[in-house]
Structure 1
């Protein structure tokens, strides 16, 4: 039974997820019943370029390749339309051999010399090949404004005099309606009816095309009308309500063929075969109008049901296969969690893998150039990193929500008798701090209910005597176990000061305590926590950071509760696998262990966390007791909060770079410790990744607006991980807060979420700076109430500029593509979500300027609720 639970049960769990996943693919990728169409097409618009050929690159198909195409098309039609007479000039001759009728074209543009050569070649072909039944001079030359109406009439009249077949030019319906004088100079009207370009939905497009045809008939009742182009693309950007897809293409073509079968419509289906080269001149959709793809495979049938995705089985199989083993690992590794935890992780993992598999298969569904492949690779890498961040969020969420309790949940210890107490040396490093704040901390240390301890205060590098002299004077009146040192010039920032204090430590010391200069500690701090050091492998005993004097100011409330999330959720999550983040206050460290590993690292601006990792590498145990034994002050304003978070992010990257060999290679760290120190900052890496995505989105929007044919909206699946990351980041936090902190009201949850989002840019800058720079500068965080009004704009100018850029990009996209364009709506939604961190920054900065409420006083520190 035990073996079944440990191995068979995870296998069955993974099999159930695989079956559900595959079933979802099958349910959403069925076939659609569409109207059947006759198997014959009256005519095709035909360009013979093969998959890797382009007239832009002077790469042309051979006669053999053209003949293969024509033989294939001859199974469906006896008539084709061409566009030029100089390039692919052999088509009329090849078509004649098959008995196919040809409507031959001459490509006209702005150069009269080129136009004359095209027309001369066309006239020669007409004289040579009797299979040419009519000619079309120019293709949308008026629409493109390459020619004026007068110029076009001149060419038409000339050709009509020189050939004995009907002559026309090809333009969209509205050009013909606008220029009735043009009609008098053609033998028939060649009209293009392409409802996709007009934003008409596919299910209404055929009727819309017939309406436009009828409008022309009513306007010009004595002229024959030939539909020179009519069709729908299988891929491309959404234009208004018109969505390009293989299903919509099949629906449009089959409906048109069925409805026109018994009518006297003369038409050429746009077009016979996909032409990938047209992307460069017509935009994304230009490559996908063919009934056959670039490999000459038919994209849809003319009878029977049409599949929504012909390759769904391959994609579903790979996604299911790649997810199966990791889901077995989840089911086995976290078997002690509730079913909800394993299920939520498995679903999130399968969703991430499926998204990546779909992205990987995009080249099979599209014609990708080298540039497209490079962009795709970059996006897939970004998607993979974003998916990794989502999974890490998912692990924390699932453990907190469904585990049922912490296995390593240590409590305060029973105080030891005075004659058994371990000697503690409490170190307090300060730099340029308000003296009254430091004195309050020293005063609280003087009230410790503990016998064997000393307090060493080190003020380093403070130039202003008014800051350190009062502290020195206060210390002079304290007992002999309180020592004060002022170091006018001292290297190493806070770590340097703590290493100096370590040199002054009483030889009897067994435990080092560290508090920040703004903390007021409770008398029982040492008595309740030091007994944990009776176990020799315990190197650190950590209590949470907590705050005071925040209740009557919304910004400080935000800051307080934003901090609480880490200490009430994240610290437990890491502590469960002895992978604690040591933070630099309210921490107790075994003296000998600290000395043995070399003291505090002065190269790192997060010396506390770095020390904790070194102690773990030496196989020590770090303990966390989630009970408040001291309260400090929140950062004084939003700029101070940003500066603090930048420093933490920068220091985190310093630690990762220095310790990466041991995290990935040979070391004593176990799997859980490696996992947490490799992934614990992935949320912050996600912020850096989002900054990259934001800058890329702004740049891509500018490129799409400036060069719409070269840059198009990404395939929606590529945006999914970015959107999910933004949504998940915003949603998981409030859920976990409600689960773990019942006393945190919804308004406080909103404030904490606002502060977290508002810090994203500062964190992203810290991560990027930490990755590219070797050394950082330790900047102290201003604490307590703000000292006065500061500039509202200066501290957040980067965020404001990015916010304005996103707003302008979104507005320009809506203006350019239209409010009804589905792809544009998705893109603007992404831009809007990307703007939330910058909107939050502005909100945080405004809230930080607000004064304290005067309606009620804050309770004293000792009356504040403990965790």
Structure 2
């Protein structure tokens, strides 16, 4: 075996071992989730005799399509008016500000403060920190602009703070536009697995979970004790979550309390969101991994924290494994590698079986009937292919996060689209500049398509499904990207 071929074997093997490491963590979370379903989450705490003061923070920046809907939803919150204040943290530089000023006139009884800063320093983290200096509430609920909190949100979450060790309560995202398109259905498919299996599983283990940036409520004391909002990562929510839990604060996750929100309906918007989440996750890993490893936390907590903080690295592993698999396929066709290597490699593919069970469990929670659940056989391969097709885009984000390359906080455009007949093309916030990685995704799609065809011609089918899914995934990502970036 040549040194170059040995290098490809090592790269492929290490990448697949990392995916196996991650899938073992997922399997444990699935087990804990199943236990949760059997045992339940315990009794809901009683309402307090006197409701505490709560501040609702609404950070917005250029949200002309959704800000009025947001204000209308918050105005329906069922909570004593004298114990509720709302901060509209408005960093906008377009007509959003005028829309806010007009909308709040409709709710004279709502204690709504329209707060403007001189600049966007610190982006969302900076806005939240600025608002925190002005709040009157003991507890801080946060909603992004595309959320529509339900009236019962505060009365369902505030009672959990009777336990003085609880620092944050997170609720489960649901999706206003799940059925808008195939792209939104696949996103819902992915997020449901996080909000059902992962969050529930980690919380039941007393492992670290994360505030998801919105749809949650904090104890003000917790934020300050953990060092306040910081803007040195693109995921200020994940960063603060780890700082707070490392200091000993407990988080509570409530899957039964829903927080409806909008999914990005186009690939360019999805990519901007994915890039921020993935790069921010990598930045948070650099910031917190050492602290977690050297902490006094139980081993199971450390293990799940490692898998949690490094989950964005799965995209790097998929990219490396997919590229290394091409010369390995050539070597197998030409009898250049021992058969044992491929037998061992096949065992690592069990990772995908575990991951499929995680997603099936989440999918089954949303789809009650047998015919609906049968749709999993369609959605999971498509979801997995699309995820593979995002590997290049997200691997670039991970690399930037690991190496400390800084970039601005790019907001995800909001659309207020719930029906398929609504058009996204008129959205003024869409980025119409197609990045170079989109062309690379198209080329990779063609490359893996050619590899799949070549393997059929050679009668070698061991990696055919893998390469076929990569081809479909990259070509789908390229198609949806080209569609959403081009001018219409």
Does TM, normalized by the shorter one, top 0.5?
A: yes
Cα separation, partners in 2 of 1:675 and 1:715, compared to 1, 3 Å: closer
**How well do the aligned residues superpose, as a CA RMSD in angstroms?**
3.4
SS, match of residue 217 in structure 2: strand
Aligned equivalents of 1:440 and 1:446: distance in 2? 10
Q: Provide the TM-score with structure 1 as the length reference.
A: 0.49
> Does 2:386 align with 1:768?
no
Cα separation, partners in 2 of 1:805 and 1:447, compared to 1, 3 Å: same
Cα separation, partners in 2 of 1:468 and 1:394, compared to 1, 3 Å: same
May I ask how many residue pairs the two structures share in their alignment? Answer: 464
> Does 2:198 align with 1:566?
no
**Deviation digits for residues 586-617 of structure 1, max 9, x if unmatched?**
11111112112221121111111211111111
> Does 2:368 align with 1:746?
no
Q: 2:360 aligns with which of 732, 735, 741?
A: 735
SS, match of residue 397 in structure 2: helix
Residue matched to 2:317: 689
- Farther off after superposition, 829-838 or 497-506: 829-838
Contact 2:183 2:265 in 1 (8 A): no
**Deviation digits for residues 160-179 of structure 1, max 9, x if unmatched?**
xxxxxxxxxxxxxxxxxxxx
Residue matched to 2:218: 589
Residue matched to 2:131: 501
Contact 2:181 2:265 in 1 (8 A): no
> Does 2:278 align with 1:643?
no
Aligned equivalents of 1:770 and 1:384: distance in 2? 22
- CA deviation after TM superposition for structure 1 residue 412, in Å: 4.8
Q: 2:473 aligns with which of 819, 834, 837?
A: 837
Gaps spanning 5+ residues in structure 1: where? 1-367, 850-867
Cα separation, partners in 2 of 1:468 and 1:530, compared to 1, 3 Å: same
**Deviation digits for residues 37-66 of structure 1, max 9, x if unmatched?**
xxxxxxxxxxxxxxxxxxxxxxxxxxxxxx
- CA deviation after TM superposition for structure 1 residue 721, in Å: 4.6
- CA deviation after TM superposition for structure 1 residue 533, in Å: 1.0
Residue matched to 1:798: 440
SS, match of residue 78 in structure 2: coil
- CA deviation after TM superposition for structure 1 residue 479, in Å: 3.8
Aligned equivalents of 1:411 and 1:553: distance in 2? 38
- CA deviation after TM superposition for structure 1 residue 572, in Å: 0.5
Q: Provide the TM-score with structure 2 as the length reference.
A: 0.83
Aligned equivalents of 1:404 and 1:444: distance in 2? 31
Q: Which has the larger radius of gyration?
A: 1
- CA deviation after TM superposition for structure 1 residue 695, in Å: 2.0
Cα separation, partners in 2 of 1:753 and 1:607, compared to 1, 3 Å: farther
Q: 1:416 aligns with which of 30, 48, 52?
A: 48
Contact 2:8 2:324 in 1 (8 A): no
Contact 2:400 2:406 in 1 (8 A): no
1:408-557 matches, within 5 Å, as 409=41, 412-417=44-49, 420-434=50-64, 436-451=65-80, 452-460=83-91, 462-464=92-94, 466-476=95-105, 478-479=108-109, 481-506=111-136, 509-551=137-179, 553-557=181-185
- CA deviation after TM superposition for structure 1 residue 836, in Å: 4.6
SS, match of residue 531 in structure 1: helix
**Deviation digits for residues 512-552 of structure 1, max 9, x if unmatched?**
11111122112221122112111110101111112224445
Higher relative contact order (CA 8 A, sep 6+): 2
Residue matched to 2:420: none
Residue matched to 2:24: 391
Gaps spanning 5+ residues in structure 2: where? 418-422
Contact 1:645 1:759 in 2 (8 A): no
Residue matched to 1:405: 37
Aligned equivalents of 1:408 and 1:678: distance in 2? 27
1:694-713 matches, within 5 Å, as 694-698=322-326
